Chain A
Amino acid sequence: MNLNSTYGMTHAMRIIESSPIRKADPRTKLALCLCASLAVMLPLGKIIFFAIIYVIFLLWARLLPEAARQAWKLKWILGVLFLVDWLVISLDLAVVVTLRLLLMAGVFAMFFSTTTPSELCLALVWLRVPYRYAFSISLSFQTVSSIDTEWRGILEAQRARGAFEAPKGWRYIVEQVRNLVSLTVPAVVLTARRAWSMTEAAYARGFESPHRTAFNRLSMRAIDWAILAGAGMVAAAIIIWR
């Protein structure tokens, strides 16, 4: 059980309630993501310029720490990619690829730290994605954090029964692999069971009913139009400038 969430929500990322972007419509945020994603087409000099603008935007949106946190999680992948690109091709390419990935991480951080899974579901339904798929996608985002929590729970539970006591070091590699089995088997079984139970629970609440009406509705406000106008100008600039 995850009792560490102080944001009232538990999904892949924390919801930053203090961000001004939090109040924006999820469709606006999707458009913003699309616009920022266009920047990956830019060459080195221009992508650095765009990255600076995007960092300023994140700073205004109070999302820079969260974006940095997400980028930090990618440090090993980014590091390896940077080194490989640098050694095999060139430093320029290594910098461009790293910046593109950082940019994408920032875009995802902006969207998912200000959008709940149910808001995502509403936006997907608006985009004509059938409800059953939109619901499944939003549910999978919601359950990412519970998988992490469950993994830690299994680790503790196995320790509590004394099934996780292998010493560290190369000499005990077989024991350590067995340790891994004691974690992965319950994790896989629990994930499958959770998926099954959730399916049952959804059907018990009338999932796939043709009469469904949504309680929450999407609505565009002044901030949405302002963000859309800004994003549109930046997108146009990117397309012309490249």
Chain B
Amino acid sequence: MIQIHELSYAYPQHGRGIGPFDFSVRSGEMLHMTGSSGCGKSTLARCITGLIPHIYHGTMKGSVRIGGLDTAGTPLWRLAESAGFVFQNPAMQMLGNSVEEEILMGLENLGLGRGEMRDRMDEALERFGLGSFRGRAPQTLSGGEQQKLALAAIIARRPPVLILDEPLSMLDVTAATEFAGYLSELARAGTAIVIFEHRSDYLAGLPGIRIAALDSATAPERTGAPGRWARAASDEKRGPKLNVSGLAVTIGGKNIIRNLSFSIEPGEVTAVVGRNGSGKTTLVRALAGLQKHGGSIDIDAMRPDFGQVYQNADLQLFNASVRSEILYRVKDPDMAWYAWLMETLCLRQYEDTPPLILSEGEKKRVALATVLMRKAAHGILLDEPSLGQDMAHKKMLIDICRGLAARGKIVLFTTHELHLAAMADRVILLGQDGIAADGTPEQVFRDADAWKRAGLFVPPWLTETGQRVITA
């Protein structure tokens, strides 16, 4: 179904590129491609779907054939009938005015009858649990819901080939597990699937899946650097705790957060988990003072000073180089600290590169560095910090969180990755009516009723690995 022969590609702007590659994927086969962030997974996906060379300039060599069609010589609309492509950032690919329109657009281009379109749309909405959002504007959905919608819009077209670029990155554990199972069903029905994904655990057990790794020079060579912080930690004075009392947020008449109360001690790494749309991002925004809310948030009766790293790092970057980005408006910068950050976050090689041309994972690390360089008084808040990061960088991220906590700071992050949550000191599980569970990862992961109340479950592979992490 997919035949790739001596494929290589180099971008015209900076000469970075990928390849050469030689591989094929047959009907009913599933290929899981892994690789560290920035290694060219999205570029390869664009080559397979024909977006390269049709709308991207640059130097492409070799050939890609999908269902016998040479991608370079076939119009994109014809290729789209053979191969469906779901991109990494769902928010940027929403075209419709409503959830229904988002799905219909792809079906209209297939030239189907109205009845057939309606049936396929209903099936896709039901499959992805979006039935109650039909009239909603896609921009008003949460990141995870947008990701489901982007997948539904392509899968409703029933292409014989599916190319998926990090399709699980924003899905909660239940949705990710269900979607992985659905992919397996599609493969059994004859669909050829290439999936670029860091969250390998959800795919590992699928029958007949092939795994291939892309090369990269960006993987961190070492982790554990925060040992340096841990040594200094004993000298740090622990500050007062963060108190959240009766927190309530209503947006557009909808209660996003209701009566949430908790406190966090400095020195604690807290993970906030919950279903797509459960209010994790809203909670972070409220803690950062960016969201109007009811109730109180204070540290020692004062407004807390947190640095926040956004889910979408593009919003926070604007300078001409990584160096100027990180040092922007930092008074008397601690250059030793800067050098350590560059080394630990594997950014040294990009010091003179404009941050906005880096990969998603790399941009996220630059945004983290800008916040850490500022040294906010009370700590940091990270919204889905693991998006686009490979396993090595996720471990590095946790090391940094631990290092900050050891310095007496409050560290809170939201995540769908329960692996990552298992490495925190404390997990807060958000349910529909507030906190469903709160405790050590071990306590929370064992509370099956709480997960049920939150509309999630803990997959067996996670209990094993999570347990291992906690014990370690």
Contacts and interface: CB of A to CB of B under 8 A. Distances in A.
B290 A212 contact: no
B242 interface: no
18 contacts: A1-B91, A9-B98, A118-B101, A145-B139, A157-B310, A158-B316, A161-B316, A186-B317, A189-B318, A193-B92, A200-B85, A202-B105, A204-B80, A204-B93, A205-B153, A207-B109, A209-B111, A211-B110
A4 B252 contact: yes
Interface string A185-209: 1100110011001111111111111
Contacts of B106: 205-206
Interface residues of A, number: 58
A18 interface: no
Contact of B314 (A9, A11, A186): A186
B113 interface: yes
B108 interface: yes
Given A156-B290, A160-B307, A203-B51, A208 B76 contact: yes
Given A9-B98, A161-B370, A204 B139 contact: no
Contacts of A208: 75-77
A159 interface: yes
A154 interface: yes
A211 B111 contact: yes
B210 interface: no
Contact of B367 (A118, A161, A185, A203): A161
CB-CB nearest 4 A-B residue pairs: A211-B111, A206-B109, A201-B93, A205-B106
Given A207-B109, A213-B113, A162 B329 contact: yes
Nearest to A197: B92
Interface in A79-135: 116-118
A4 B251 contact: yes
B356 interface: yes
B154 interface: yes
B167 to A, nearest CB: 13
Interface of B: 46, 49, 51, 54-55, 75-78, 80-81, 84-87, 89, 91-98, 101, 104-114, 117-118, 135-137, 139-140, 142, 150, 153-154, 157, 251-254, 256, 285, 288, 290, 307-310, 312, 314-319, 328-329, 356, 367, 370-371, 374, 376
Nearest to B376: A162
Nearest to B113: A213
Contacts of A182: 318, 328
Interface in A141-162: 142, 145-146, 149-150, 153-154, 156-162
Interface of A: 1-6, 8-11, 116-118, 139, 142, 145-146, 149-150, 153-154, 156-163, 165, 181-183, 185-186, 189-190, 193-194, 197-215
A13 B96 CA distance: 16
Contacts, number: 187
Given A160-B310, A162-B374, A215-B108, A207 B137 contact: no
A194 B314 CA distance: 11
A10 B139 contact: yes
A128 B98 CA distance: 25
Given A5-B140, A10-B140, A200-B87, A161 B111 contact: no
A95 to B, nearest CB: 39
Contact of B81 (A116, A117, A183, A206): A206
A137 B112 CA distance: 24
A196 to B, nearest CB: 8
A149 B89 CA distance: 17
A193 B91 CA distance: 11
Given A160-B288, A208-B77, A117 B97 contact: yes
Contacts of A10: 97, 137, 139-140
A76 to B, nearest CB: 27
